[in-house]
A = this chain, B = another copy of it.
Amino acid sequence: MSVADRPPRVVAVAGGVGGARMVAGLHRVLDEGMLTVIVNTGDDFTHWGLHISPDLDTVMYTLAGLAPEERGWGIEGDTFEVLAESKRRGGDPWFQLGDRDLVTHLRRTNALAAGSSLTEATAAICRELGITRPILPMSDEPCPTVIVTTDDKSMAFQDWLVRERGAPLVARVQSGSSASATAKVLGALAEADLVVLCPSNPYVSIDPIRSLDGVAQWLRDKAVVAVSPLVGGKAVKGPLASMVSSIDRMEPSAQWVAKHYDGFLDGLVVHPGDRFECAIPLLETDILIQKPQDRVRLARELLEFARSRL
């Protein structure tokens, strides 16, 4: 049986909000056992002594139906009693931690302290949240993404994005290059029929995964389709557009996405009007997927596109 005759085994490579929404669509469309999600952990950081994995959390909350439709972080309807008390005691409230959200960070930190790997801790949290598809952190080792600004300051990604509100211009992004992908991540890539690069920020969500030993080779060997994180030259959410200008001195566009992923991309999904002259197959369709029904539609179209063209 060729790949074309059966539903493909899909690996989704994802970062924050856009990635989580694409994953939610694939999750609805693909049968049990056919989807594995590899999630960026380059944004992980420690706050209040807790291990916080923003991208894992966003993916898990989205799949569990807990994520707000609009806001790109945390749990819908969460309260902020702990944060309010921390403020009353003079704490710096730069990072918004909700009360329900906090349970995730407590569980993770506690599991890690007890000797679990991040992969195991994530699986335990997924079970509690009723998530049945494997959500794999890219690595069990710390691999912090560092933002280097145009005035040559280095800072952790969350410090740049949240504390500094993404204002300082970025000269380059350094991924934590000495960390290894987990055996589960490499195993999932080895078994994949199709790898989907979700509409996440290539610099800070996808590249940290690509940069891990062994991952780039699998991306070259496998059918890879990316969904553009840019619509009409603008990022749907987050700081990507200004990063393209300041890092690559290029116009942010679908063309830039194709160039950035040059050498291993087998298909690219772009928004209507973003089509351009290109050697690889393009699918031009609405890639705005804030609403759940659009996530499902895009997932179906993407899988159909991959099946017919690759």
Contact A109 B49 (CB under 8 A): yes
A49-B106, A102-B102 are known; give 14 further A-B pairs, CB within 8 A: A48-B107, A49-B110, A49-B114, A79-B81, A81-B99, A82-B100, A82-B103, A82-B106, A86-B103, A86-B106, A89-B103, A90-B128, A91-B103, A99-B99
List 20 A-B pairs, Cβ < 8 Å.
A48-B106, A49-B106, A49-B110, A79-B79, A79-B81, A79-B99, A81-B81, A81-B82, A81-B99, A81-B100, A82-B100, A82-B106, A85-B99, A85-B100, A85-B103, A89-B103, A89-B128, A89-B129, A91-B103, A99-B99
User: Per-residue 0/1 for A104-117: is the Cβ within 8 Å of any B Cβ (1 yes, 0 no)?
Assistant: 00110110011000
User: Per-residue 0/1 for A66-95: is the Cβ within 8 Å of any B Cβ (1 yes, 0 no)?
Assistant: 000000000000010110011001110000
Task: Give the shortest distance, in Å, between A76 (CB) and chain B (any CB).
Answer: 13
Task: Give the shortest distance, in Å, between A98 (CB) and chain B (any CB).
Answer: 8
Considering only CB atoms and an 8 Å cut-off, how many residues of chain A contact the other chain?
23
Contact A113 B49 (CB under 8 A): yes
Interface centre among A50, A103, A107, A129 (most CB of B within 10 A): A103
Residues from chain B with a CB closer than 8 A to the CB of A102 are 82, 85, 102
The chain A residues found within 8 Å of chain B, CB to CB, are 48-50, 79, 81-82, 85-86, 89-91, 99-100, 102-103, 106-107, 109-110, 113-114, 128-129
Residues from chain B with a CB closer than 8 A to the CB of A89 are 103, 107, 128-129
Nearest neighbor of A112 in chain B, beta-carbon distance? B49
Task: Give the shortest distance, in Å, between A118 (CB) and chain B (any CB).
Answer: 15
Complexed CA–CA distance, A81 and B90 (Å) = 21
Residues from chain B with a CB closer than 8 A to the CB of A50 are 106
- The 9 closest A-B CB pairs, nearest first, are A49-B110, A81-B99, A89-B128, A85-B100, A79-B81, A85-B103, A82-B99, A48-B106, A86-B103
Residues from chain B with a CB closer than 8 A to the CB of A79 are 79, 81, 99
Residues from chain B with a CB closer than 8 A to the CB of A110 are 48-49
